[in-house]
Amino acid sequence: MTKKIEDDTPVVTPSNNYDAVRNAASDNLVFFKNNNSDTGQKMSEYLGTILDSVESLVPLMKSVEEKSHLYDFSEDVKGNGYTSWLKNADIVVNRTLRILEEVTSKRNTYFFRKYHYLKEVKAYSEAMGSMCVIMNYLLLMMSWSESNHDLLINDHEPNFFDVISKEDKLVNLYCFYGRLSCFQFCDSMATVLNALNILMATFSEVYYNDGYIIDPLLRGSKYWVDPEVRAKRIVNIVKYASVDFCKNYWFLGEVEIMQRIPSIMLPSLQVNKLIMLDPVPLVVENVYGKNIDIPIPTAHIGHASIPLRLLSSSLRLGMETESSSKSGFKYPSDSLLFHCHGGGFVSQSSRSHENYLRQWAIDLDIPVLSVDYSLAPEAPYPRALEEIFYAYCWALSNSSLLGTTAEKIVFAGDSAGANLNIALTMMCLEYGVRKPQGLFLAYVPIIMSLDPSPSRLFSLVDPLLPMGFLNGLVKAYTATSDVYDKTKIYERKLRRNVAKSKGLKGEPSTENSPTNGELDSKTRKFFIMF
């Protein structure tokens, strides 16, 4: 395994470690050039690549650094995507130095693991080269925004992604999903994210194998021990998998055994109730004292109930409960937390977010109402927005049933849910409906168009939401059905890979394939228990 930087290890500055990488690479290059074996010659080749990359990377980084301050949020908030990439480059160089120093110290020992270090040096040579490519991307974006120093580039011709796709040198993704996976995170986060990547690669073996479980799981075990094989599979998933795969993978958190965890591990609540809201004509009084009709959600899937989850640490007067006794009830709260869950608009539910919703309900001691809005691609924009607007207006009119007077309301959400909360607030302003007292928005995506920015380039090496997934999620939520369907035509490449690994000719039948729908509950349960 690649040696990790400790959580408290500072990133050293280029003035020190870049020269050290040159010296260490040169010293090892001289040593291995005298080795005529295939391993020695390949090691020499990769060390030469590292030397060339260092010579190219230093001036590129200086060019980016000279202008990066122009893109700071403000004089008080120093930082932007450009400076973040500079720090990432420092991390890669720092780790390259550590590997080279290990090679130097162990190359003459009897137990020198030459094949292991050959793979390590190869991965870091690829990462160094990729950092040079990324710095060129950043300089290209800077050149396109010289007039306004805007971090987001839109309506530019030619299109940024078209330009970089035609470049001679592209970012090598394999190293960033193999031995350098999660390099940009501290150890505690990297451990969790790497485990999720291994799980995703293993899950793909089941998903693209027509529902068979045992054989693909056994073959999937290689992803735990071989970073190169894992990287190849993950990159192929990122390139070719559709949103249907993402949806099924993320829905592993919805299987029964996972849904029982909050009840076992987390504090219990007096109220944890699912309310099925049947949309009927609804009239509310707006802030101008005028009665207005609230639109019933009808987009894409027609009339359907809206599931709402009410969570409260206390029983409060007005709440619907099976108990006929009113003893132990508290007076209605003056506050309500209105929550929309994340999940890329295509997955998850209030149940899968209970790990923090329960704690909020206890710590705040107020009712929490979470909306299980309809998911894309079956129900793309604007269906989810229609549902949460209707649910919010219903909550305003029926706050007593939720155990609150709703004098103070805060919208809360993460990721896609945070985006929906912003849109919900805008709808409140448009209709004149009472707006919330506050918004809590965690890692919210605001601009859904795929306009380039230095921060968005992080999706190239993002272990949780890589660029291929991000592109698919945006199309699933915002694009027409025919545009979305085109994103699924390349999945056969993943299925063909499975077929080849089994020694089959041609493509296996896709009849009853899980890509045509969700995995059945039995398959999901078996997989998550494994």
Residue 512: Cβ-neighbour burial (10 angstroms; 0-12, 13-18, 19+):
exposed
Residue 293 and residue 199 in one domain: no
Does residue 411 share a domain with residue 277? yes
The answer to whether residue 3 sits within a structural domain is: no
End residue of a domain, out of 442, 465, 485 = 442
The pLDDT score that the predictor gives to residue 154 is: 72
For 306-338, the pLDDT digits (tens) are 999 999 999 999 897 755 555 678 999 999 999
How far is 93 from 107, CA to CA, in rounded Å? 21
With beta carbons less than 8 A apart as the criterion, state whether 156 and 147 touch. no
Q: How far is CA 385 from CA 281, 342, 486, in A?
A: 17, 13, 25
Residues 6+ apart with CB under 8 A from 100: 21, 24, 25, 28, 50, 121
227 and 313 inside one domain: no
> How many domains does the chain contain in total?
3
CB within 8 Å of 324: residues ≥ 6 apart? none
pTM reported for the whole predicted model:
0.83
E strands of 415-528, at which residues?
438-442
Last residue of a domain, one of 120, 145, 172: 172
Please indicate, yes or no, whether residues 393 and 266 belong to a single structural domain of this protein: yes
Those residues whose C-beta lies under 8 Å from the C-beta of residue 185, and which sit 6 or more positions away, are 193
Q: Please indicate, yes or no, whether residues 229 and 344 belong to a single structural domain of this protein.
A: no
Q: Quick one: DSSP state of residue 78?
A: -
Decide if 298 contacts 259 (C-beta within 8 A): no
Residues 514 and 402 in one domain: no
In a domain, 316, yes or no: yes
pLDDT at 120: 98
Residues 472 and 410 grouped into a single domain:
no
Helix (H) or strand (E) holding 191: helix 187-207
- Regarding whether 415 and 276 lie in a shared domain, the answer is yes
Q: Residue 386: helix, strand or coil by DSSP?
A: helix
Tokens of 423: 């849109």
Question: Which residues of the chain have a pLDDT value below 70?
Answer: 1-15, 166-169, 210-217, 219, 256-263, 322-327, 496-530
Please name the residue ranges forming H helices in 333-448.
354-364, 383-397, 416-431
- Tell me the CA end-to-end span of the chain in Å, nearest whole number: 24
Q: What confidence score (pLDDT) does residue 147 get? A: 83
Q: Provide the 8-state DSSP code for 330.
A: B
Q: Is residue 515 part of a domain?
A: yes
452 CB neighbour count, 10 Å cutoff = 21
Whole-number pLDDT of residue 158: 74
Same domain, yes or no: 427 and 284: yes
Nearest-angstrom CA–CA distance, 9 and 284:
57
Rounded CA separation 91/95 (Å): 6
At 88 the pLDDT is 96
Residue 327's pLDDT is what? 62
Residue 506 lies in a domain: yes
DSSP letter for each residue of 412-443: EEETHHHHHHHHHHHHHHHHTPPPPSEEEEES
67-102 residue pLDDT tens: 999 999 888 888 899 999 999 999 999 999 999 999
Range of the domain at 296: 257-442
Do 42 and 154 fall into the same domain?
yes
Contact by Cβ (8 Å): 69, 87: no
Q: Is there a domain that residue 397 lies in?
A: yes
pLDDT score for 160: 75
Q: Which two tokens stand for residue 295?
A: 């639109």
CATH of the domain at 309: 3.40.50.1820
Asked if the structure places residue 447 within a domain, the reply is no
Residue 247 is assigned to a structural domain of this protein:
no
Cα–Cα distance between 338 and 495 in angstroms, integer? 42
In whole angstroms, how large is the CA radius of gyration of the chain? 27
Residue 484 structure tokens: 């979305």
Look at residue 2 and tell me if it is in a domain. no
Per-residue DSSP letter, 402: G
CB 453 within 8 A of CB 141: yes
Residue 480 is predicted with a pLDDT of: 81
Which of 145, 172, 199 finishes a domain? 172
The answer on 406 and 521 residing in a single domain is no
Report the interhelical angle of 38-68 vs 14-33 (nearest 10°).
160
Residues 157 and 197 in one domain: no
- Compute how many other C-beta atoms are within 10 angstroms of the C-beta atom of residue 429: 11
